[in-house]
Amino acid sequence: MTGLNACITSVAAYVPEHKLTNAMLENMVETTDEWILSRTGIKERRILKEKHLATSDMAAEAVNRLLTKRNIDPKSIDLLICGTVTPDMPFPATANLITAKCALTNAFGFDLGAACSGFLFALETGRRYIESGAYKKVIVVGADTMSSIINYEDRNTCIIFGDGAGAVLLEPTTDKSLGIQDSILRTDGEGAKFLHQKAGGSLNPASQQTIDEDMHYVYQEGKHVFKFAVTEMANVCEEIMKKNQLTNEDLDWLVPHQANLRIIEATRQQVNLDPAKVMINIEKYGNTTAATLPLCLSDWESKLKKGDKLVLTTFGGGFTWGAIYLVWAYS
Ligand code: UT7
């Protein structure tokens, strides 16, 4: 132990301009604004329309904003970790493309695949590099272009997902009362069958057949995923709060993965938290997979105060889920 904690010291995000509204989806698949809003809480999502742009471009925009707002020299960044399931291409890693686009010439980078928990797992990874004393400036990105793997004829998935990117800067502090305090992370590969993308990997490389059978799109058995998500996200929040003797009064903010408003509400109820303490922006972005948590932090950054206690929590494909308890380090 080095006596160092890892703190988030800057947050930034980027979402594309183009909005895909529920009314537009009504013209694409058999659905209604009323059904989508009441079953998910989503009104619109952002879509990366420009064909020459990809996940690394949204992420680079978020990272550049992050550096500019704190006037940080790109050369001072040691490491960039990118949580994503929609890399620009299978290799090189999207993190490598982002470091080049942002002139992080002294940084190394890698991607981390944990679907909707990608940012949470990457945050825990970045935390450990900082706590070890190995690196002083680590950028953690959550970015996904879900529109690139969604079948816009499948109403089970196309109504939920959107595109976006967010990034945080991690730096060390010797003040142990600040920064990341604890984490509980979980995976269960038995859940893979309920939420996955069949083709494009080594099991089903791209072929005429994989294209004909729509195997490059997201496959989700929503009801099954919902059942696990609603139980496990709530349980892991309760577990991390108990483990750290945090009451519902102590906790200032719950930062939940934005997959479905009903899952968020069930989690809030289980830990009996005041609704005003829950970050919710699903109505305007939908489910942006690895980007949901940094998009929330960015939207709420101006309201966050030094010393605020936050629990970040996710549930997603894998299955992957977990929670991180941290104390905000700046106002
Ligand atoms: O972030 C990664 C993790 N993912 C999640 O956490 C997603 C979890 N799952 C969900 O959020 C929900 O399961 C969905 C939003 C995907 C679906 O909501 P649901 O309440 O579970 O709907 P359902 O699949 O049980 O379908 C209920 C009814 C069905 O009709 P019948 O059989 O009752 O007549 C569906 O055919 O709603 C119908 N339906 C739709 N109707 C209008 C399903 N999708 C739609 C739709 N528009 N888009």
Best of 161, 187, 260 for a ligand 1 pocket test (most atoms within 8 Å of beta carbon): 260
CA 71 to CA 202: how far, in whole Å? 42
Q: How far is the CA of 159 from the centre of ligand 1 (A)?
A: 10
Residue whose structure tokens are 């139980």: 231
Ligand 1 contact via 320 beta carbon (within 6 Å): no
* Coil, helix or strand at residue 252: coil
CA 56 to CA 202: how far, in whole Å? 23
Residue located nearest, by CA, to atom 39 of ligand 1: 156
**DSSP-H helix ranges across 173-308:** 208-212, 222-243, 261-270, 282-285, 292-300
Cβ–Cβ < 8 Å for 290, 142: yes
Ligand 1 contact via 262 beta carbon (within 6 Å): no
Residue located nearest, by CA, to atom 21 of ligand 1: 223
Give the number of C-alpha atoms closer than 13 A to the C-alpha of residue 74, restricted to the C-beta side.
14
Active site residues: 116, 257, 287
CA 118 to CA 315: how far, in whole Å? 10
Q: How far is the CA of 195 from the centre of ligand 1 (A)?
A: 14
| pLDDT at position 14 | 98
CA 227 to CA 218: how far, in whole Å? 18
Q: What is the CATH number of domain 5-173?
A: 3.40.47.10
**What tokens does 252 get?**
């200032």
Cβ–Cβ < 8 Å for 169, 72: yes
Give the number of C-alpha atoms closer than 13 A to the C-alpha of residue 44, restricted to the C-beta side.
12
CA 142 to CA 128: how far, in whole Å? 17
Q: What is the CATH number of domain 179-327?
A: 3.40.47.10
Cβ–Cβ < 8 Å for 9, 170: yes
Closest atom, ligand 1, to C-alpha of 257: 1
pLDDT tens digits, 17-55: 999 999 999 999 999 999 999 999 999 999 999 999 999
Give the percent of the chain with pLDDT over 70: 100
Residue whose structure tokens are 């694409």: 28
Confidence tier at 1 by pLDDT (50, 70, 90) = low
Compute the C-alpha angle 99/291/164, nearest 5°: 80
Q: Is the pLDDT of residue 172 over 90?
A: yes
- Closest by CA to 199, choosing from 191, 190, 209, is 209
Confidence tier at 2 by pLDDT (50, 70, 90) = confident
**What tokens does 30 get?**
């058999």
Would you list the domain boundaries of the chain?
A: 5-173, 179-327
Q: At what angle do helices 118-131 and 292-300 cross, to 10 degrees?
A: 70
pLDDT tens digits, 248-271: 999 999 999 999 999 999 999 999
Q: Is the pLDDT of residue 282 over 90?
A: yes
Best of 226, 288, 321 for a ligand 1 pocket test (most atoms within 8 Å of beta carbon): 226
